[in-house]
Structure 1
């Protein structure tokens, strides 16, 4: 069945229609999957609901349905006072418990916002299924303010014959308020930094490389697996937690296998900059002997991943490698190009790598050899490193500003503590001061308590509370 559309398609919309066709979505019916239940106990849900209730007052006289969805497009909640709109939405299953991703319902506002990780407006006949032509949907993705993960979306739906006016702006504002409210209730957690605009880092495989640290068996096994795949002409992906060293692993392998190649390291863009980011790929990939590392492939808008896959496939002599948090998150157009996916374990599972990495980072920051005292080395090895190698790099960089010999007292207080609970700002200040005093040479808990104006019972309780490890 072919449907005649009277709308002009944007590149994003055309790409979404093509994906909907590839998914086998019927043109004349909406048959989303029903989950039978939703997760209503998360911080995301609580904050999103509070924001939607506030927006409900603003739109009290408007025929608008406000919805919260998870990252898979499952509708978690719906707020709407217009009875006729509620009844119509129920007939198209746009209701809590039903999944409305592109894969389930074709092109629609919330599905497009989740696929491209960007605010999206889909009007009337822009929907893939004719059953949704009666609606206009505006949606904006909600991102985890601390970790940067896609959490879900805020979706506003009205009749297609109504003016969409500020609908998209309201959806974007509601998504932003949800993320901000989550951060405010995260007990002092710091927001994830936004992309700084750096797109490419280009370096030579045979030059520009400082001596690599001698790391342990786990790293060596992952490196050997990537090297073997590259030598066999296979396309490789490396997955693992943020900051674990995925790009470093790929770069090390490429230096060994393709010594005459330029290595192009492309960091993921802000979704709003994806179009200009893509525009830089074609001329770079046209150059001979180029190896490309696409970082954070799981954060790319789906349309951008599809365009990138097309560009890479058409390029001659260029090789592609990608990194992502997990294999399942790699967009399908890029995932189909991968022959091998290697997992790099987090630093907490590679304790033998901590000190060699610390010495490597110290040498790079200081410009000469740096030594760690036994107390500092012990503190570094026993810390869990939730931020992995990137966190270790930051801690070492700050510590070596004090000299060529790093003692425990030079390390950030977070390293001397083992608490996994997120602290308030006041608790963080208190923890840091206790850890600083306890790191002084020759200090005892009794003397530390006196210096801090605490009783011995109080400081012991605080040490337990904050997971401080006195030397």
Structure 2
């Protein structure tokens, strides 16, 4: 080991700690996902050109994502390609250090710098017939890590120029990314100027790295309303189809946002949002209705609560739709109680076993109102049965008709009218009203009140969250909404029943603010880093050593996962 370079020795130690098989490692196969990512679009012409330049050379160009998963492979003679296939250095396989040990891809990611790994430097025996040079590809504007370009050849053909060539390829890809960014920004800017000229009203342009608001929008809305609009426009990023959104603003105004995507060729450049109308909602009580068992005073929550209470009071049949965990059932139940219906409310769930149609008929015959949860899971036979049952109820012409409410799932990327396709037009004929219940991320100002309510319900009346802890919770995406918040608080209450909860006392997932969905492996990695930082008092060096991870890696992971240390 004395002749092995220091960084290779450290890499071998990491590989050993990861229990990599020294003879025949087995790289993980991963679904590479988007085949039209920014990295792939920028890299294709570069790799095609470089492959042509190296047509007669026994080298292979390999592109990976930021995890080391191979996205593409080009060039190389038949014998080299066959040899690479034998060690699974092929699209879809992960060549991170923890999978296959020291190599040009995984080790470059670990040390955060370009690296040349010659044959004998590899940790595993089956990779020593190769030499590989890996160079990182970062976004030229944001600096975020996008992937690795790797040049691989047989060990007997190794040459120090491999690393220089890998760096050159990485620079060319980054230049192409910058060119595309300029093209996308130009396309978005052109659409923005056109919308400003023709609309005569407030206009917003939004892209992955761009946000523009015209002077009319700035004049119409104060700073708080502008912040709320900015938060709402995040929901449109990446959407390929036009849609309309409603934004309830802190001032009490409701803004209607019409989104149109903008393209540069076939690539989405961003979107243009025209605020077509603003109206002040009709409000009798500025605080909104006080529904039993609920918490929240934001404009969006007041509007929905007021609307559902009005519907329940008039016994209008209604569909409550929204993402999982937003509180549709709680809202319907509370509105029924506040409306003083003088009837029992029977609650059925389409996901539970039993003859749901017969059960619904029994409850309605007994004079109860009905709440049917998860109606999007109804089978075609159940839809037909309920349609017939509800027709019978309407034909009876009772003096006091029952109130029926359905709850239905709305996917996070969904648009208005989803319930129509899921529940069937025949059934929806009986429901003249549909109310969309907002996700928690659209009324995060209600989070402190929700936390207090949920803690009290769990019996932890003497437990409070510090302001810093509440601020940290407000930064999270809450993919499962209030249900997710309830699970989080339940996990806290299991270990603490009184006192003050600070950021360090929050579960591991709450101390990271990554907006993207993490894989199961990434979740475990994030939690391990958070726990190590907590054990070592935020000392990143000590935490990295305890995890067998390089300093460069732990700093990169902290940035990627948005970990608050």
8 Å CA contact retained: 2:292, 2:337: no
Gap change, CA 1:448 and 1:338, over 3 Å in 2: same
Pairwise CA distance, 1:460: 0.7
SS at match of 1:342: strand
More strand by share: 2
Matched, 1:327 2:393: no
> 1:261 & 1:324 partners in 2: Cα distance?
23
Pairwise CA distance, 1:455: 3.7
Matching of residues 153-168 of structure 1 within 5 Å: none
SS at match of 2:345: strand
Matched, 1:464 2:543: no
> 1:408 & 1:299 partners in 2: Cα distance?
39
State the TM-score, normalized to the length of structure 1.
Answer: 0.51
Equivalent in 320, 340, 360 of residue 281 of structure 1: 360
SS at match of 2:538: coil
> 1:210 & 1:398 partners in 2: Cα distance?
25
SS at match of 2:403: strand
Gap change, CA 1:217 and 1:254, over 3 Å in 2: same
Gap change, CA 1:447 and 1:377, over 3 Å in 2: farther
SS at match of 2:494: helix
Equivalent in 402, 408, 432 of residue 318 of structure 1: 402
SS at match of 2:431: coil
8 Å CA contact retained: 1:409, 1:440: no
Pairwise CA distance, 1:339: 1.4
8 Å CA contact retained: 2:356, 2:382: no
Pairwise CA distance, 1:414: 2.1
Pairwise CA distance, 1:251: 1.2
Equivalent in 486, 489, 501 of residue 393 of structure 1: 486
Pairwise CA distance, 1:248: 1.2
Matched, 1:301 2:372: no
SS at match of 1:345: coil
SS at match of 1:370: strand
> 2:406 & 2:482 partners in 1: Cα distance?
19
SS at match of 1:265: strand
Pairwise CA distance, 1:408: 2.6
Structure 1: which 5+ residue stretches go unaligned? 1-40, 44-208
Equivalent in 291, 297, 313 of residue 369 of structure 2: 291
SS at match of 1:459: helix
SS at match of 2:524: helix
Q: Which has the larger radius of gyration?
A: 2
Matched, 1:380 2:473: yes
8 Å CA contact retained: 1:269, 1:277: no
8 Å CA contact retained: 2:360, 2:370: no
8 Å CA contact retained: 1:312, 1:318: no
Pairwise CA distance, 1:464: 2.1
> 1:459 & 1:438 partners in 2: Cα distance?
10
Gap change, CA 1:437 and 1:407, over 3 Å in 2: farther
> 1:417 & 1:370 partners in 2: Cα distance?
22
> 2:294 & 2:480 partners in 1: Cα distance?
21
Equivalent in 432, 439, 449 of residue 339 of structure 1: 432
8 Å CA contact retained: 2:454, 2:489: yes
Matched, 1:430 2:525: yes
Gap change, CA 1:257 and 1:424, over 3 Å in 2: closer
Gap change, CA 1:440 and 1:339, over 3 Å in 2: farther
Deviation string, structure 1 residues 178-197 (Cα, Å, up to 9, x no partner): xxxxxxxxxxxxxxxxxxxx
8 Å CA contact retained: 1:355, 1:381: no
Aligned length: 261
Relative contact order, higher structure (CA 8 A, sep 6+)? 1
